[in-house]
Structure 1
Amino acid sequence: MTSALCRAARAILATAPVLYLVVAPAQAKGPDSLSELSTQVSDAVVNISATTVDAKRSARNDGPNLPPGVGPGAPFDDLFEEFFRRRGQGMPEMPRQRRSSSLGSGFVIDPSGIVITNNHVIADANEVTVILNDGQKLKAEVLGKDQKVDVAVLKVKPEKPLKAVKFGDSDKAKVGDWVLAVGNPFGLGGSVTAGIVSARNRNIDSGPYDNYIQTDASINKGNSGGPLFNMDGEVIGINTAILSPSGGSVGIGFATPANTVEPVIEQLQAFGETRRGWLGVRIQNID
């Protein structure tokens, strides 16, 4: 009897590792490759270059008016500055332009040239340029922008129809679902990263629409405005922000859900602004 029990115990112990080896790979299985999906969507993702021109005054003290051709940047600027300094006067203030550029990402939702990005990518910009995946540069017109949702709609005039992507139902995205982020990190150009939905309805105290999709797909500076795709190639979010002490990706990125931005985009296309409802309420004490 004892011998039979020992043989049965050895049989169970011998089969346990086999069962583990069969089950474990199924638990860890992910997408075999994201190459096909990346190829499918990459041409619809664009780089955004926004240039701001600030007309500033020089830091010099007020002084007498000077004739044309004399002043900051003129051939004898140093001589005139020394002359007025000895007389106790400063050179007059002269207008100077300072150009600053910011880089971001965007994506095409209509082959005719409708491009979506974040509002903070193009806010206050004097010039906006959309750079296609093939390197072609197109000047963009801002059709409308919404600061609260942080979204902007641009219009370009391409020579031929552009590759476009469509929005998906972001409410169907579940924690643990695979996602793909495509964008222009640090101005390097089209880059693809993958991850999962880490959390839903995340509040980061950034505004009235704090219901972000959190993902561990690598998102860096320059990815703002780029799309977050599900495995069907649908845009379920716009990559908007990261949480990072260093300024680089630490695996905590946030995307504005498609179901939040899509109604706003429709209004920006139709009216150039977002028309929200309002409720007038006055509060008073009741005795």
Structure 2
Amino acid sequence: MNARKSGNRLAVLALLLLCGGLVSPAFAQEQPVPSPREQLRQDILSEVAAIEVHGNLLKKVCRYVRPSVVHIEARKKEGESLAYGGSIVDEAGSGVIIHHHDKDYVLTNRHVISQAANQDIKIHLDDGRILRPTQVWTDRETDVAVMAVEAERLIPAQVADSSAVEIGEFVLAVGSPFGLSQSVTYGIISAKGRRDLQLGRQGLKFQNFMQTDAAINPGNSGGPLLNMRGEVIGINTAIASNSGGNDGIGFTIPINSALNIACQMIDDGKVSRAFLGVVLDSQYDSKAAEKLGLPMAKGTRVNGVTEDSPADAAGILVGDVIVRFNNQDIEDDSHLVNVVSLSPLHVKLPVDLYREGKLMVVELELAVRDASVK
């Protein structure tokens, strides 16, 4: 009896499974099919996740650097004397807090604070405090300035090696365009090694700018350019513009150069320009490069070497073509002059040479050519 009941149950179960297998495709076909618009919405939600990750990174970088960026106001005199047509103007700019020898300083551009007395400079911190510099150093030839400040709980920025920055890297510019403090813009590094720029009244002698399309406007001067790790790679300095506003061409001083100048001024009260000791060939061109076996007229050819100079000590010879200096590609003779002048002292630097059909690398330490800080 029990065996018969069990057999009936198995027969009913088999029938149900068979019926389920037969009807399940019909049920599946009756499920609602999303409209093209609904499907597009689902695709957007699934693919936007990668962009949101990038956006979240930008938000975190902005929060991380805010305490290290300052807004600067300077009341300065223009002209020789108020009695003879001079005037008082208010300048707004930006700056970034740095740390050197256990003390805090504000790094900025010279043109932001020049002609202003210490008591006429206000440094606005992100937490609302207002500081005045206790000492100011400026360098006319590079437009770098640094100010000593005294306050507790200052947060210096992290700094990267700007020589490692590559064209195409994403960057953030932070500053006070048109007086709007803590503004952030986004872009890429568009070019490196920009020089011979006509920058209004600044007349900078030594130029080796990075170029960015991150929006830089009046008031951004002195503020930091950052990589996606929240590290300072440059000090925003100037724009190329027909309108006076951002046209997508901004220039920033590489932080390696800016810190080199700033630290020299803090430590020595002056800037010691570097000296290589070579005479360069202004006639070096593509034809000369072709004769030497170089694919193009990059670099600069040595026409003479000063006795007992760093170049002489390193074994650089007349006829050598310097193609790289301190890990920077050299475009021509004026570019080498700029790069050498902005390079650090008292450290060994690599120099890539082309000699008799072969590439070689020598190391040297630059000598000092003194120049007073103005």
Q: Structure 1 unaligned segments of length 5 or more: list them.
A: 1-20, 60-96, 283-287
Deviation at 1:190, TM superposition (A): 1.2
User: Could you tell me which residue of structure 1 aligns to residue 82 of structure 2?
Assistant: 56
Higher alpha-carbon Rg: 2
Deviation at 1:113, TM superposition (A): 3.3
1:249-268 Cα distance to aligned partner (Å, 9 max, x none):
11111101112112111101
1:31-57 Cα distance to aligned partner (Å, 9 max, x none):
333000000001100011111246422
Deviation at 1:248, TM superposition (A): 0.7
Deviation at 1:173, TM superposition (A): 1.0
Normalized per residue, which structure has more helix? 2
Aligned sequence identity (%): 41
Q: Is the 8 A contact 1:104 1:121 kept in 2?
A: yes
Q: Is the 8 A contact 1:166 1:234 kept in 2?
A: yes
Q: Could you tell me how far apart the structure 1 residues matched to 2:138 and 2:147 are? A: 9
Deviation at 1:143, TM superposition (A): 3.2
Aligned positions of 1:244-259 closer than 5 A: 244-259=241-256
Q: Could you tell me how far apart the structure 2 residues matched to 1:44 and 1:279 are? A: 36
Q: Could you tell me how far apart the structure 1 residues matched to 2:103 and 2:153 are? A: 6
User: Could you tell me which residue of structure 2 aligns to residue 120 of structure 1?
Assistant: 111
Deviation at 1:277, TM superposition (A): 4.4
The alignment covers a number of residue pairs equal to 220
1:184 aligned to which of 166, 173, 176: 176
Q: Structure 2 unaligned segments of length 5 or more: list them.
A: 1-42, 199-203, 280-374
DSSP 3-state at the match of 1:32: helix
Q: Is the 8 A contact 2:173 2:226 kept in 1?
A: yes
Q: Could you tell me how far apart the structure 2 residues matched to 1:226 and 1:279 are? A: 32
DSSP 3-state at the match of 1:276: strand
Deviation at 1:275, TM superposition (A): 2.0
User: Could you tell me which residue of structure 1 aligns to residue 226 of structure 2?
Assistant: 229
Deviation at 1:171, TM superposition (A): 1.3
User: Could you tell me which residue of structure 2 aligns to residue 31 of structure 1?
Assistant: 54
Pick closer, same or farther for the CA change 1:134–1:123 going to 2, 3 Å: same
Q: Could you tell me how far apart the structure 1 residues matched to 2:168 and 2:238 are? A: 20
Deviation at 1:120, TM superposition (A): 0.8
Q: Is the 8 A contact 1:113 1:161 kept in 2?
A: no
DSSP 3-state at the match of 2:190: strand
2:88 aligned to which of 99, 119, 122: 99
User: Could you tell me which residue of structure 2 aligns to residue 133 of structure 1?
Assistant: 126
User: Could you tell me which residue of structure 1 aligns to residue 269 of structure 2?
Assistant: 272
Q: Could you tell me how far apart the structure 2 residues matched to 1:44 and 1:223 are? A: 15
Higher relative contact order (CA 8 A, sep 6+): 1
Deviation at 1:205, TM superposition (A): 2.3
Deviation at 1:145, TM superposition (A): 1.1
DSSP 3-state at the match of 2:273: coil
